[in-house]
Amino acid sequence: MAEPKANEHMEKIVSLCKRRGFVFQSSEIYGGINGFWDYGPLGAELKRNVKDFWWRSMTQKREDVVGLEATIIMHPKIWEASGHTSTFSDPMVDCLLTKKRFRSDQIDPQSGTVYFYSGAKDSTSEKVSSEAYSVLIGNGKHPDHARKIARQFYTTRGVANPELLGERTELIEGTVRYNPGNGSLFTEPRPFNLMFKTYVGPVESEDNVAYLRPETAQAIFVQFKNVLDVARQKLPFGICQIGKAFRNEINPRNFTFRSREFEQMELEFFIKPDETASKSSFPGEPGTEPSWGWEQWHKYWVEERVKWYESIGLSRDVLDFHWQQKSELAHYAKATVDILYKFPFGTQELEGIAARGDYDLTQHQKFSGKSMAVFDEETKERFIPHVIEPSAGVDRLILALICNAYTEEETTDEKGLKETRIVMKLHPRVAPVKVGIFPLLKNKPELVKKAQEVRDLLRAEMPVFYDDAGAIGRRYRRQDEAGTPFGVTIDFDTLGETPDLKDTVTLRDRDSMQQQRMAIGDLVPFLLSKIR
């Protein structure tokens, strides 16, 4: 049974997240709030490290990508142009019999005879349902069709042997209130707006409705021209952004995986349309070939992103890839590749890399009336750029890193007793704390003093954690759970008990538990080489 095991595994991870301060439930003392999560001390550092590393990799280390930080609340027209206002607020209905959900605007109007019932009573017990119900059947069909469906419905309402009450019929035309599949009545249409709504200004009127952005991408598109004007970039080039987005999810699930408030790291990489690109000069610098068409750029970014995940410890064998079929593609996309991680609760998406064509800029040109076209000096052509969009969810990446790092190791101690060592094998680049610093013994002031000197030396360069409480092994194990990749212990040799070893410390590796002797002066360069 794989299922209970996966749950058990996930529960251990959730438990560790709370115990060590990676993730807390938002507003916990008030009972929590569904779909919102906070990061504790270790989680906040981990997330910051991931975002900083992404930002450095995407923009600071590249010539051809610049950054942007836009507001969460933007002009509501943006969401009309992007299609979110219409597709995010469909009225939905549920079939009362099968519970299947439909968009009420996609139901084909039907005609026929409606059989109404006021309720049903059980023929063998006293049980009664007084819930009204009705069934639509095609004209000329036998009434028993309707009665059969109605009896099924009342059975689901707890009436085991329903005897239908108050039957009456009515001819009806062009209704969308009944399930075309089985004739069952739907629930009342309920609006489903996945965007969080608010009002700009003190008056709550329809004129000043605004939305919390459901994705960060649109901000980049609407500022495209401004960035192009100031950034001294030529196509192809990109604009990236890290920021919060909000979706009022129907059903948040799987710990932080699907939250209502989440953070995205997105790049919109603008390229020439294939016709223009094919006339452009070749070759350029690696990663900036101007003559590449969208398919080459798309592949390029998929590969870049996979390499990036590898560089923070998510190797190709824990990732999975899904090239979306034509039928799965969103309305704006020419091609989409999902990068997925094998979570304990299933293989789920971390990032989507979409070739969006010129859909977004064209929409904004249409809705704003402002030209989004650029002029290409080389080919003397004007065109609306096309876009490749690698869009990653930060919070689900953090969860993937945590799941991937969580390791239980069976070890045997000196007495031959089996014990479990829990280690968070986070990549040193993203680990919240880089090094733990320990005096071998607390009750020897010389050791403590020297350890504090080492702490101060290292603290200037990286996050450190100083601990002198309890046995040394216990302190190592505590840092194992926090994911701290290195431990430095100050012992009597550090103080010069063995003259050759004066001013050296033991450096313990979290994953192998191996120790090596290192001069204090070598610590900073060594550690920096591991964490950068």
Partner RNA sequence: GCGAGCGUAGCUCAGUCUGGUAGAGCAUCACCUUGCCAAGGUGAACGUCGAGGGUUCGAAUCCCUUCGCUCGCUCCA
Of 31 and 499, CB closest to RNA: 31
Under rule CB under 7 A, residue 94 binds RNA = yes
Q: Which of residues 274-313 bind RNA (CB under 7 A)?
A: none
Burial of 504 (0-12, 13-18, 19+ CB in 10 A): buried
Per-residue interface string for the shown chain with RNA, residues 436-475, x marking contact by CB under 7 A: ----xxxx-------------------------xxxxxx-
Nearest distance from C-beta of residue 348 to RNA, angstroms: 9
Q: Which of 5, 34, 169, 532 binds RNA (CB under 7 A)?
A: 34
Under rule CB under 7 A, residue 11 binds RNA = yes
Of 18 and 502, CB closest to RNA: 18
Instruction: State the residue for tokens 């219409």.
Output: 86
Whether 271 contacts 388, CB under 8 Å: yes
Q: How many residues bind RNA (CB under 7 A)?
A: 69
Under rule CB under 7 A, residue 342 binds RNA = no
Q: Is the dihedral of CA 512, 516, 522, 523 positive or negative?
A: positive
Q: Of 3-11, 221-229, 314-322, 425-433, which part binds RNA (CB under 7 A)?
A: 3-11
- Spatial strand order of the sheet with 168-175 comes to 133-137, 110-117, 168-175
Q: Which of 62, 492, 524, 530 binds RNA (CB under 7 A)?
A: 492
Whether 426 contacts 50, CB under 8 Å: no
Per-residue interface string for the shown chain with RNA, residues 345-374, x marking contact by CB under 7 A: x-----------------------------
Under rule CB under 7 A, residue 254 binds RNA = yes
Under rule CB under 7 A, residue 88 binds RNA = yes
Under rule CB under 7 A, residue 7 binds RNA = yes
CA distance 291 to 345: 42
Q: Of 114-122, 286-294, 399-407, 417-425, which part binds RNA (CB under 7 A)?
A: 417-425
Nearest distance from C-beta of residue 250 to RNA, angstroms: 5
Name the amino acid, one letter, at 164.
L
Under rule CB under 7 A, residue 478 binds RNA = yes
Nearest Cα neighbor of 390 from 265, 498, 289, 504 is 265
Burial of 457 (0-12, 13-18, 19+ CB in 10 A): middle
Nearest distance from C-beta of residue 16 to RNA, angstroms: 8
Nearest Cα neighbor of 466 from 480, 476, 452 is 452
Pairing of strands 435-439, 486-490: parallel
Whether 265 contacts 392, CB under 8 Å: yes
CA distance 78 to 87: 13
For residue 451, the SS3 value is: helix
Name the amino acid, one letter, at 207.
D
Instruction: State the residue for tokens 């950054």.
Output: 67
Of 108 and 207, CB closest to RNA: 108
Under rule CB under 7 A, residue 501 binds RNA = no
Q: Tell me which residues touch RNA (CB under 7 A).
A: 3, 7, 10-11, 14-15, 18-19, 25, 31-35, 83-84, 87-88, 94, 99-101, 194, 214-215, 247, 249-255, 258, 330-331, 345, 411, 413-414, 417, 419-422, 440-443, 469-474, 476-478, 489, 491-493, 497, 505-506, 508, 513-515
